Structure formats: structure tokens, C-alpha cells
Amino acid sequence: MSDVDLRKLRYFVAVAEQLHFGRAAALLHIAQPVLSRQIRALEDELKVELFVRTKRATELTPAGRQLLADAVPLLTNAAALQRRVRRAAGGTDSFTVAFMPGLTVTAAVRAMRDSHPGLSVDVLRTDWDDQGEVLRDGRADIGYVRLPLDRRGLTVQPLTTEPRVAVVPSDHPLAGKDEIAIGDLAGATLLQNPAAVPEWQGRAVPVPAASVEEKLEHVAAGRGVAVLPLSTAAFYTRADVAYARITGISANTVCLAWASDRDDNPLLRDFAALVSALSPA
């Protein structure tokens, strides 16, 4: 692999994910013949066939599937390395803390600044879809995440748990109740990725609602319901939606997470220790 450049790997991943050379070329903003030549060059370098091409379809070979599994984390790590090197070249030590909506990180950030004079401590707000990716690709050094989470390449340290609530329109039959059962939502439309709510048994539809604000707009418009951690719901209180605690569903778990290949980084250890010291006994 030492002779394979990252550009060819990026091209390969684009084709492997699209399974279509034309769409991949458009995403990469290059001509399709150029992309085809790069893939052939990669196959020649690796001495394997990566794709089976027919007039109707493009499919991965077993070697292609293995390369895709290995190439994605390799490219992510390369992007993280580039970000860290560029930050170091800027001459200012920096440390970025990511956090999910509803979580307050002020005390830990201040403690980190106080204990490391000269360190620039920044924050980055994430959503459910990118909370792990910002740690793997180096946009953040450490993050307050909510489970469930894709843990590949991450070290995860549990912090606390909190109840989850249903968010419904203010004129919904369940509006005004303090507590409902998960079964009360059977048949409702979930306006978020159902993987975020493993207990969900109703209908889920694809809705372009990555942020909490977007989810609440869709709920208020009567398109369906959402399930949020209690602290998130409390932070985003608004008059046109109602919240009710859900029974029959697990609590939301909040954790600290960081890239596993940085386990020995002293700043990560220091920040984790500060968070533990600030947490209630």
C-alpha cells in the first residue's frame, strides 16, 4: 500500500460508494475517462480487479469490498493528520471540544483553559449524524456524544444518563400529558433516523432534518413526532410543540469520545480528568 496515493483511493471510494462511474466522476468534478484510467492504474498497482463492469451495472469484487473497508478509515485518518499538522504549523496550540445539542460544556472548557495557559480551547456543535465523524476526521479532539454511536476507531467513556421525551405538535392528542408509553406512539411518523431510537416500532420516513431546529419545525408543522433527550428538549422549548417523558424506552447515555489512536495524548487525558472532577458524585 505504500505505493498507492491517497488521490487514487479517494477516486476508488467514490466509485465504490456510487457503483457508477458517471455519478462518481460528477461528484469528484473530473471527466469519466480520467476516473476510469485512475481506477485501472490502481488495479494495476494492487494487481487485483476491484470492480466487475457490465453494460448494466458496476459491482465490487471481493478485493474491492476489502479495499473499501480499509480505505475509508485510512482516508479519514489522513484528513485528521493533515488538520493537526496545519494547526501545529499555525503556531498556536489548539484543542477542540465537540458537543451535542442540549449539553453544556462551558465549565469543562473553562477549566481546560485555566489549567493550560496558552492553549486555545474551541467548541464545535455536532448532530447525531456527524458526532463520531468529527472525531475520526480531526475536526474535534474530543466530544460529548450521545448513544447510539458508531464506535469504530473511537474510545468511549460513559458520563451520565437522562430520560428521553416525545415531541409532538401542540394540538396533538398526546399534548399536555406529562408521561406517555412508547406504545402510545405506535403508527406515528418518526421525523429522524430510526437508528437513533432503536425501540421505535412506528413508521419512519426520510426527512431532511439533520438539526434539532429542523426536526422541531417539522413536528410543529404536523408532519410527525421526534424523540429527544430531556436536556435537549428543555433547551429548545417552544410554544407550538409539546414534550412528554416516554416510558418503556431506555435512557439516553452521554459519553466522552475521542479517536482511539490518540489514547496517549496528554491533553485528552487531562480533559477527561477535568470532566470527571466536575461531574456530580
CATH topology of domain 164-249: D-Maltodextrin-Binding Protein; domain 2 (3.40.190)
How many Å apart are CA 51 and CA 186, to the nearest integer?
A: 43
Q: Tell me if 4 sits within 8 A of 43, measured CB to CB.
A: no
pLDDT digits (tens, 9 = 90+) for 80-124: 677 667 666 655 588 999 999 999 999 999 999 999 988 889 999
Q: Which residue has the higher pLDDT, 256 or 32?
A: 256
Report, as an integer, the average pLDDT of 152-168: 94
Report, as an integer, the average pLDDT of 12-18: 90
Name the class of domain 6-84.
mainly alpha
Kindly report the pTM of this predicted structure: 0.68
Residue 281 pLDDT grade (very low, low, confident, very high; cuts 50, 70, 90): low
Q: What is the mean pLDDT of the chain?
A: 87
CATH topology of domain 92-158+253-278: D-Maltodextrin-Binding Protein; domain 2 (3.40.190)
Residues of the chain with CATH 1.10.10.10: 6-84
pLDDT digits (tens, 9 = 90+) for 161-210: 999 999 999 999 999 999 999 889 888 888 888 888 888 877 666 555 56
How far is CA 125 from its chain centroid?
Answer: 11
Residue 15 CB burial class (10 angstroms; 0-12, 13-18, ≥19)? buried
Q: Which of 12-16, 24-28, 52-56, 253-257 has the lowest mean pLDDT?
A: 52-56
Residue 54 pLDDT grade (very low, low, confident, very high; cuts 50, 70, 90): confident
At 19, list the grid cell: 457503483
Axis-axis angle for helices 266-278, 106-115 (nearest 10): 130
Residues of the chain with CATH 3.40.190.10: 92-158+253-278, 164-249
